[in-house]
Structure formats: structure tokens, C-alpha cells
Structure 1
Amino acid sequence: MAPRWLRAGVAAPLMLGLSLGNLPAARANLVPYVYIPQRVELEGAGLGIAQAASRLLRLGQAAEAAQLAALTVQLLPDDPRGWLLLAEAQLRSKQLKEAGTSLARAKELDPRNPGIWFAQGSLALREGKPEAAIELLGQGLKLDSNNAGAYFDIGNAHIQLAQPVPALKAFEQAAKLRRDFWEAINNQGLVLFDMGKTKEALGRWRQVLSLKPDAAETNLALATGLFSEAAGRQDSKYQEALALANKALAADPNYVLDSYQKDQLWGPKLRLITQELLQQSGLKAAVERALANANPDGNEEE
């Protein structure tokens, strides 16, 4: 049987009197064409990825946001915004060491950006370094004196240092700058209660609940304050205290734990009276459910 190329009517090179050496050389030495993106295209891709990372952060997906933000800084290594975004995502996903590195790089690129100083202050606070936090936040406030969040963090740092008066002043300044800053008003109540100013604390907590009725922390704190005022009497304050405590534990069972209250910067007096409140028979079922469902590590805010 004839070879396939004869059957197909194709003449082999050698049959035509051509040697393979007369054929063009193989082109294996040519480099395939590779498209190299221009700088403007890389910048556009980096900004697009940064926007996607920001959206994930808003949705609470901090770990995924950190992965995208890491791509952003690879594409835009000299843009401090990308490093700051990466640091925020790392902070929220509890990658504290990595966040510190990212913030340091951001500060090298943009030392006069107050947001970087504020973020470093927040990181120091989370690492249990309140003195360093106050210094860093103070430097940031020299660049942006109207940042309510920075004053709030300074107040928390002073609580950690057992300095109630400057803590209260910082929380008041935070609430002055942002009228709906219920967390700052709530923390004023925390400080006032342990200073023995119960009525003022109750006023602050009622103000919070007018802004955010479902705030678990404030509902329980107010319940404790009313319970202390009832002083053993099962009057209207006592009944309101039970109702508020039930509501609080249903909303966030972690607050049944003394350790969790301490992590939220509750003072010793407030925690002690809260434990007395939680021993009341009218809260037995709520307390048992909360103890079964408490999971502070899993529910911690990112």
C-alpha cells in the first residue's frame, strides 16, 4: 500500500529532488510575542482591585479583602492608599503583625496622612499599648483635629490606664464631633458609673437607646444601673432592669460573661453589680441560654 502522502497526491520533498537542508530553518529561535501592560493599565487594574477589596471590607469579609489588597500593593507599590487599605483589612482579620508592617510602609510614603497615624494608634491599643496609642493618636489629631474616632480610641486608652477623667473628656469630644456616635455616649456611661455618678450614667445610656434601641451592651448596662438603684426593691426599676437584661442577652449572649464585659472595658463596679443582676431568678432562663450560646472569639468584631 502506498504511503499516505502518495495516496493523498502529495509529493514528498525528497521525491521532488529537494533536500531537507534546502528548507527554511526552523523558527524555534523566535521569542513568542508577549504583551506587557503599560503603567497606566497597571494602575487601572490596581485601583479596580482596591475598589473590590473595599467592597469586601464593607461586607465584613476582611480576610478576602486583605488578599485583594495585597495584589493592589503589588501593582501599586508606591501608592500609600493601597498600603493603608491592606493594613485596615489585616487589622480587621486580626493579622496584627502584618498590619504593623503595612502601616509602616504607608507612613514612609505619606507621613502627613493622619489616617495612618490613627490606624497605628488603633493597632497599639489592640496590642495593649495604651500609652503608645495616645501618643500616635495625638500626632494624628495635630493633622486632623476633627476625627471623632481618634478621640474615642484615646478615651479607651485612658480607660485601660485607669484614668477616668481624661477618658470621659475624650468620649465627650468624640460625641460632640459626631452627634450620632452612640458608642462614645455609651462609654461615657461606663466611666460615669464607675465614678459613682449613677444618675448621669443612666442618662447617657438612655440617650444611646434613643439612637440605637437594640444596642446589647447599653441595654445591659442600663439594666445594671437600674438594678443598683432599686437596691433590693422589686419596684418598677427592678422590673425594667429584668426586661432590659433579657433583651440584651438575647441580642448578644457574650455579655453574660464577666471576661467579655472586661474586654469591652467595663469597670469593676459595673461588672460586679451586673453579676448580681444576672443571678436574679427572673433571668435564670435567659442566662442559661446565653451561657450555652456565648462565643466571644467567634463573634468578635473584625
Structure 2
Amino acid sequence: MLNKLREQTVFKGNWLLSLLVGVGVWQFNVPAMGQMLLPYTPQLNPEQLEQQGLEVAEEAAQLIRFQQHDLALARAKLATQLAPNKYQPWFILGTLYIIKQELELGVNALEKALILEPEEVGIKFTLGNAYFQQKKYQQAATELEEGLEIKPDIPSAQFDLGNAYFKLGRMTDAIAVYQEAINQEEGFWPAVNNIGLIKYEQGDIPSAIEHWEKALEIDSEQAEPLLALGVALYVQGKKEQGLELGETALQLDSNYGELQHLKDNLWGEKLMKDTEVFFTTPQMQSVLSQLQQESSKEIKDQQQTSDN
């Protein structure tokens, strides 16, 4: 999911923060320096500078958890200056850039972190996610595979790897790694959903429907499986039921009315083609028109509030 999307949108392609917190990569220990007070003299030795750099990096990590990204970014930049030979400041700085969708800067910082700590799985996972967003799918797969060899029980990383395989056309491998993620975390609906996407492209619509229904059993408020299920049922001739699900999905999240958003979420050619037909129906045209009007009004109201 991308920063340009609404905050309430769950972008299933990016589980970066939950992954990092889950791995515990930011819970690093700052070296003990005794009861050291903040120095009152500019004559700091390298060890003290590095100590302070790690402390500032830890502050940045805490700010990320509270979504204070701008404040965290300033501290992360300072931390890389104070402790340039430690991986943690570069890792946190790179992650922040990725969150802010400054991908090139993020990748550069993460690559520096990886040079300093080649076996740190959190860096590999985050770098794999960043490469994926840059459409460098083979590089993404390589980093994620190497990370999972070290720490194999991270569903979010398995999901990202499945997405990379998906883009590389390795559908059997994608399904296998999605299933591994589900085995690790039974309620991981995005992996279930994406298996449905693959099954639909393979022409197995009944299996696709089964997976989307399972995803909705896990979380009934997710727009993506709702819309996909609606399209599939419509194609099968259950038009009224399909249109009802489609309308509900777009009311939950109007972003799914945008074809580019569906492509970003790995919807394949067959499903996209059927969705385009689905959107041309009078009922869906009415829903899309209404949502567009509401969005325009919301933007106008925000502009007026800002002007005032």
C-alpha cells in the first residue's frame, strides 16, 4: 500500500512496520557507559559520539512506533552522523525513507546498513520490500529468501516473497510461500486473498471464490476480497449478489474503484478485464459517480477549512 492512499486503506503489499516490530530489530542495546552525564565540553571521544548516536537512533525508532515520522527522520539523520559505522542508524533512516516513499534514498541507506551488518534479517526484509516497490522483483526475492533462511518464521516476509514470485510469474512458488505465511499466522487474510488472485488467473474461479470467502471469514470489513468475490460471482451469473458485494466493497474503501489501485494490489489481466466490465454496469456506475462526488466535496471542504 502506498502513502498516497487514504489512511484507512490497508495496503496489503506493505506490512513493513509490523514486520520490523515483530522481528524486534529495533530493540538493540545501547552500550553501557556507566552513569555518564550529557557532556558539557565539545571534546567528545569517538566512543561517546557513537554512544550518543545509538541513543538518538533509539529515540527515532520510538518515534516511528508513534508515527512521528518527521521528528524521527531528523533524529535518524543525526544518528548516522554520530555513529556512521553502526548499522542501526542507517537501518532506521532507510526505513523512514521507505515509509515516506523516497525509495532511492531509502535503498541507499539500507544498503549501507547491510554492508555494516550482513546477517541482520530486518535489513534484508526491509530492503526486499523496497526493491519490490522499485519493481526490482528478482532483487527483492533474493533479499527476502536470504532473510528467511536466517529467520524463517516471519509471515510478513513470506508474504512479500510471495508477491515477488507473483510478479516474476512463479505462481506455484508464490502459492507455496503464501501458504507458509498462513501456516505461521492463520488470520493472515492478505495471503489467503492473493492465492485467490492467482487461482482466478489460472481459470480456477471456484477455488478463487473459496479463498476470498475464507479471507472475509477472517476479516469481513476488507474491501479487496469483497470486490473480487463480487466480480467472480457476477461472472458466474449471480449478478445481483455480485453487484451488492461490489457496492459494499466500494463503500468500505473507494480506492478499489480505481483500476490502478487494483493493479498495484496484484490483480491480474483476467480479473482486471472482468472488473472493467463489472464497473460498466449501471449500478456500479451509479456507485462510482456518487463516491466521486463525495470525494470532490470532501476535498473542497478541506480546502475551505485550510483557507480559513
Q: TM-score range by the shorter chain?
A: 0.7 to 0.9
**How much does 1:222 deviate?**
1.2
- Where structure 1 has 5 or more consecutive residues not aligned to the other structure, the ranges are 1-32, 231-236
Matched, 1:79 2:80: no
**How much does 1:142 deviate?**
1.7
Indicate the structure (1 or 2) with the bigger Cα radius of gyration: 1
Q: Cα gap change, 1:268/1:292 in structure 2, threshold over 3 Å: closer, same or farther?
A: farther
Q: Cα gap change, 1:218/1:106 in structure 2, threshold over 3 Å: closer, same or farther?
A: same
**How much does 1:194 deviate?**
1.0
> 1:108-154: per-residue Cα shift (whole Å, max 9, x none)?
22111112122221121111111121122111122112222222112
Q: Cα gap change, 1:126/1:40 in structure 2, threshold over 3 Å: closer, same or farther?
A: same
Number of the residue aligned with 2:13? none
**How much does 1:170 deviate?**
1.7
Q: Specify which of 111, 124, 134 is matched with residue 104 of structure 1.
A: 111
Query: Which amino acid in 1 is paired with 2:112?
Result: R
Number of the residue aligned with 1:126? 133
> 1:206-231: per-residue Cα shift (whole Å, max 9, x none)?
1111222211112111111111122x
Contact 1:256 1:290 in 2 (8 A): no
Q: Cα gap change, 1:81/1:294 in structure 2, threshold over 3 Å: closer, same or farther?
A: farther
Contact 1:47 1:72 in 2 (8 A): yes
Query: If the length of structure 2 is used for normalisation, what is the TM-score?
Result: 0.75
Q: Where does 1:169-248 land on structure 2 (aligned, <5 Å)? A: 169-230=176-237, 237-248=238-249
| Cα distance in 2 for residues equivalent to 1:290 and 1:275 | 17
Query: Which amino acid in 2 is paired with 1:259?
Result: Q
**How much does 1:67 deviate?**
2.5
Contact 1:155 1:168 in 2 (8 A): yes
| Cα distance in 2 for residues equivalent to 1:190 and 1:147 | 22
| Cα distance in 1 for residues equivalent to 2:261 and 2:220 | 21
Number of the residue aligned with 2:37? none
Query: Which amino acid in 2 is paired with 1:260?
Result: H
**How much does 1:63 deviate?**
4.2
Contact 1:125 1:157 in 2 (8 A): yes
Q: Cα gap change, 1:144/1:279 in structure 2, threshold over 3 Å: closer, same or farther?
A: same
Number of the residue aligned with 1:287? 288
| Cα distance in 2 for residues equivalent to 1:128 and 1:195 | 23
Contact 1:194 1:268 in 2 (8 A): yes
| Cα distance in 1 for residues equivalent to 2:84 and 2:130 | 22
| Cα distance in 2 for residues equivalent to 1:284 and 1:262 | 20
Deviates more, 1:42-51 or 1:144-153: 42-51
Matched, 1:65 2:66: no
| Cα distance in 1 for residues equivalent to 2:70 and 2:290 | 31
Q: Where does 1:241-256 land on structure 2 (aligned, <5 Å)? A: 241-256=242-257
Matched, 1:88 2:95: yes
Q: Cα gap change, 1:101/1:189 in structure 2, threshold over 3 Å: closer, same or farther?
A: same
> 1:26-49: per-residue Cα shift (whole Å, max 9, x none)?
xxxxxxx84656778756654554
Q: CA RMSD in A?
A: 2.6
SS, match of residue 236 in structure 2:
helix
Number of aligned residues:
258
Query: Which amino acid in 2 is paired with 1:109?
Result: L
Q: Cα gap change, 1:52/1:229 in structure 2, threshold over 3 Å: closer, same or farther?
A: farther
Contact 1:217 1:255 in 2 (8 A): yes
Contact 1:62 1:90 in 2 (8 A): no
Q: Cα gap change, 1:64/1:293 in structure 2, threshold over 3 Å: closer, same or farther?
A: farther
Report % sequence identity: 29
Contact 2:231 2:278 in 1 (8 A): yes
SS, match of residue 101 in structure 2:
coil
Query: Which amino acid in 1 is paired with 2:203?
Result: G
**How much does 1:65 deviate?**
2.8
| Cα distance in 1 for residues equivalent to 2:226 and 2:295 | 17
Higher relative contact order (CA 8 A, sep 6+): 2
Contact 2:141 2:164 in 1 (8 A): yes
| Cα distance in 1 for residues equivalent to 2:272 and 2:82 | 49
| Cα distance in 1 for residues equivalent to 2:59 and 2:241 | 46
| Cα distance in 1 for residues equivalent to 2:111 and 2:196 | 35
